[in-house]
Structures are given as C-alpha cells and as structure tokens.
Amino acid sequence: MKLVAKVDRRILKSQEAIKKAMVELMSMKNFDDITIQDISDQANVNRGTIYLHYSDKFDLLDKLIQEHINELQKMCESACKLDFIDATLIFCEYFDSNYSFFSLMLANKGAPYFRNRFLDFLLEEFRKEADVTKGKNQGLNEDVIVRFVASAYVGVVEWWFTNEKPFPHRVLAEQLGTLLDRIL
C-alpha cells in the first residue's frame, strides 16, 4: 500500500493565497514590476512564507503555469475516449472557470512563456490524434497537420480571451470540436 503524505491545510491555504495574489497583481501591473514584497502584501503572508515554497517570483509563475498544464494533461487522459466536441467542452469549461489566469496568460500578454508551453502541450496531444496513413489526411506531413491544428487552437482560444468571451464557452467548444473533427 502506498502512503500519501497529508499536506497541512495551512500550507495549502498559504500557497493558494500566494498564487491568487500573483494573478491579481499581474492583472494590475507588469510582471517585471512585481516584487516579492508586493506578493507578500497582497497574499497577507510573510516574505519568508513565499520563499519557503518558491525560490523567486519566476519560480512561482512557473509552478502556477505548470499546475494548469498538469490539470489540462489530466483532462486529456479522461477526454481521450470522447468525441472532439465533448472533449473540447471539458477544456472550455476549465478555461472559463479559470478565466482570470488564462486571460492574463493569453490575452494580456502577461506571460508569453505560457503561450509556448500551452502550444507545446497541444502539439503533444494532437500528435496522438493525427493519422496520415489513411482518410482525408493521407499523404500529408504529420508535423504540418499537428502544428496547424495546435496553432489554430491556441489562436482561437487566445482570440476568445482577448475579446472577453464574445460567446459562451459551450459555443466555443462546439465550434472548436467541429473543426477538429473535420481536420483530424
């Protein structure tokens, strides 16, 4: 039997406050202008608490981004058996429920690094779906198809956030899912 270490709720509460503070601060000012003291004040924790969990603000941002990428990867595992529309709905619900994070990372250019990580994640996932041995994509270069689909997906999601969700996430999911079904 594998033992799972129980994490103190105070630690989780502090970490959540720190991550929330970072997102809030990034909505108010440029990442380069944010200090550890700013994060500490916004999260209502000591600077030492931040350094207990993160080496600096870059590490904090990196872990925040990785947390969302990991969550998207978990969703892929459960969504792989669904059709594209239903699978995309799961992702769009996640985007919508984490609007402040994704809008900062994609629409407001808060972290261009995130866009590249998101694209890399999608390239890996769509590579599993691309089949150039038969059907409509027979004879096409797999790298071209995968890059085309992943780049288009990122671009549409980015556009949705930049335009402050011009329609509900369900409509976005239906549109993206239909397009993926036609292409892949």
Here the tokens at position 144 are 């071209």
Q: What is the DSSP letter of 45?
A: S
The pLDDT tens digits for 121-178 are 999 999 998 888 888 888 899 999 999 999 999 999 999 999 999 999 999 999 999 9
CA distance 141 to 159: 27
Range name among 28-32, 61-65, 67-71 with the lowest pLDDT average: 28-32
Are 60 and 18 in contact by the 8 Å Cβ rule? The answer is: yes
